Amino acid sequence: MDQPIVVFAGYAAIGIVLYHALLLVIAKGNISRAVLAYRVQLRTLVSPILAEKLRPIVEPVEQKPVKPKPSAEPLRLLAVLQRDSRFLDFFMDDIQAAADDQIVAFVKDMHPKCQASLRDHLVLEPVMNQTEGDSVEVAAGFDPSAVRLLGNVTGQPPFHGTLQHRGWHVKEIKLSPPPAGQDEFVVQPAETYLV
């Protein structure tokens, strides 16, 4: 054991055996996985391309969650109302300086256009068929998204009261999707008159 080369070779052999035993232990006795790990390690040392391909797997980069873009589908009807009756303009413009007769004239012009747009693009039906002011009964198991209880709400259903509003339920939506590439969040494009 005086020769250093023999001592070095002995320690190297022991190291290699221990290394392979460690791979086998980490692979939980699965020899094929241990062999694959050994081969990948050697090929990674030799091939920089393979090393770069494996880097995201071995060292995953923390990615910030991508906030999904909200759906603009609900805005389609708003865009139709704006196109047909200038609905948004009425509510977004300052009308304080306008004379009452101007406002009334605009509303009388806007109302039938909005009504036509709604009828063209939605099939609406009342939630309750009774007339407003009629006595109604709200049975047990009612849908709270369809019937809102007002006033002195105590106890358990059935509830008895006076119908304040029949409510509206959309039975069908008849809106076409926008053309490809159109920004659905633009409900009214800016208009420029060219001379």
pTM for the model stands at 0.58
d(Cα 113, Cα 80) in Å, to the nearest integer?
10
Are the CB atoms for 130 and 166 separated by under 8 Å? Answer: yes
Q: Are 121 and 74 in contact (CB under 8 A)?
A: no
- The string of DSSP codes covering 145-170 is TT----SS--S-SSEEEE-S---EEE
Both tokens of 142, joined, read 């009612």
Separation CA 46–CA 13 (nearest Å): 22
Are the C-beta atoms of residues 80 and 86 closer than 8 Å to each other? no
Sign of the alpha-carbon torsion through 110, 112, 118, 124: positive
Q: d(Cα 136, Cα 149) in Å, to the nearest integer?
A: 12
In tens digits, the chain (195 residues) has pLDDT values of: 567 777 777 777 787 777 777 777 787 877 787 777 778 878 888 888 888 888 888 787 787 888 887 888 888 888 899 999 999 888 898 989 899 999 999 999 999 999 999 999 999 999 999 999 999 999 999 999 999 999 989 989 999 999 999 999 999 988 888 888 888 888 888 989 898
The kind and range of the H/E element at 88 are helix 87-92
Q: Where are the domains of the chain?
A: 4-58, 75-173
- Strands 122-126 and 168-173: what pairing? antiparallel
Cα distance between residue 150 and residue 163, in whole Å:
10
Encode 45-72: b = buried (16+ Cβ within 10 Å), e = exposed.
Answer: eeeeeeeeeeeeeeeeeeeeeeeeeeeb
Q: For residues 169 and 125, is the Cβ–Cβ distance under 8 A? A: yes
